[in-house]
């Protein structure tokens, strides 16, 4: 095989492999979109679940606190601090597990507490709702701030790393004026440098696997309690959600 034939075959091979990876990525993305649509439409998405899985966990707690305020189960002062009412509120527990969790977390506090200080993360509720909605494991890992493996990216990165070794292979052919050892060393050094460069480019520019559940979750109406409160309690609850501990800075003017 001549040098020209070698490079022609290598060029075609590189193009076909690159196109194949692109086609596989597009096919997987299309399958993810269809899977999300089929699974989400088969169940009724819980509003609290939808809020949390669109990156608004603080809003989930705020919605639960709003429902508790409207039911008279908690009270909020001018500084945005939550506490249980003197009479203890209704005897019947809330209907929703997120509201129950927020109320239980507040009942364990001896003093009035800002919503931002409650550490309840509702992991059990969210895991149950993820299972109910058919959320795939790789997406759950991303929501848990882990880095799920992307086999297509790994394949592309591996090809990018070793591709320069094939393109630079003609350096090993023919004579080596500086000696065979120097020629082989130059080949490996240049190939490795180019391979690591291509690997970095693939890692930095690789398109992230898209979350096709998010558009469905964003269309779910929020819990009605968020919009049912009066302006004063809405403002106080917003302060409580982002409370920093400096109560004298967040107090309302009377």
DSSP string across the chain: --HHHHHHHHHHHHHHHHHHHHHHHHHHHHHHHHHHHHHHHTSPPPHHHHHHTTT-HHHHHHHHHHHHHHTTS-EE-TTSEEE--TT---SSPPSSHHHHHHHHHHHT-SS-EEGGG-----HHHHHHHHHHHT--HHHHHHHTT-----HHHHHHHHHHHHHHHHHTGGGGSS--TT-HHHHHHHHHHHHHHHHHHHHHHHHHHPPPPP-SSHHHHHTSPPPTHHHHS-HHHHHHHHHHHT--S-HHHHPPP-
| 237 and 181, same domain (yes or no) | no
| 136 and 228, same domain (yes or no) | yes
| 157 and 38, same domain (yes or no) | yes
Average pLDDT value for residue range 159-172: 88
Among 44-53, 168-177, 178-187, 245-254, which range has the highest average pLDDT? 44-53
- Structure-token match 């480019």, residue found: 201
Average pLDDT value for residue range 130-150: 87
| 34 and 72, same domain (yes or no) | no
Look at the chain and report how many structural domains it folds into.
Answer: 2
Average pLDDT value for residue range 157-164: 92
Confidence of residue 184 (pLDDT cuts 50, 70, 90): confident
Q: Is the pLDDT of residue 28 over 90?
A: yes
| 96 and 133, same domain (yes or no) | yes
| 232 and 134, same domain (yes or no) | yes
| 8 and 130, same domain (yes or no) | no
pLDDT of residue 95: 87
Average pLDDT value for residue range 58-69: 89
Taking the CA atoms of the chain, what radius of gyration do you get in angstroms? 29
Residue 214 covered by a domain: no
Q: Which domain range does residue 194 map to?
A: 3-42+150-205
| 130 and 9, same domain (yes or no) | no
pTM for this prediction: 0.74
| 130 and 231, same domain (yes or no) | yes
């Amino acid at each position: 095989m001549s040098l020209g034939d070698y490079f022609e075959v290598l060029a075609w091979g590189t193009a076909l492999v690159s196109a194949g990876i692109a086609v596989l990525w597009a096919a997987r993305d299309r399958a993810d979109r269809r899977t999300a649509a089929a699974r989400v439409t088969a169940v009724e998405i819980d509003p609290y679940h939808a809020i949390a899985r669109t990156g608004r966990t603080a809003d989930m707690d705020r919605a639960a606190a709003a429902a508790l305020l409207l039911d008279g189960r908690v009270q909020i002062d001018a500084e945005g601090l939550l506490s249980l009412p003197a009479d203890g509120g209704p005897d019947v527990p809330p209907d929703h597990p997120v509201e129950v969790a927020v109320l239980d977390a507040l009942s364990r506090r001896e003093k009035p507490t800002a919503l931002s200080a409650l550490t309840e993360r509702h992991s059990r509720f969210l895991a149950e709702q993820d299972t109910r909605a058919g959320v795939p494991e790789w997406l759950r890992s991303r929501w848990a701030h882990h880095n799920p493996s992307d086999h297509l990216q790994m394949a592309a990165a591996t090809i990018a790393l070793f591709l320069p070794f094939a393109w630079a292979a003609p350096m090993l052919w023919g004579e080596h004026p500086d000696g065979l050892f120097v020629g082989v060393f130059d080949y490996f050094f240049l190939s490795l440098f180019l391979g690591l460069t291509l690997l970095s480019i693939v890692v930095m520019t690789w398109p992230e696997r898209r979350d096709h559940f998010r558009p469905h979750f964003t269309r779910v109406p929020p819990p009605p309690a968020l919009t049912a409160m009066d302006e004063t309690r809405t403002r106080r609850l917003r302060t409580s959600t982002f409370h920093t501990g400096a109560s004298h800075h967040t107090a309302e003017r009377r």
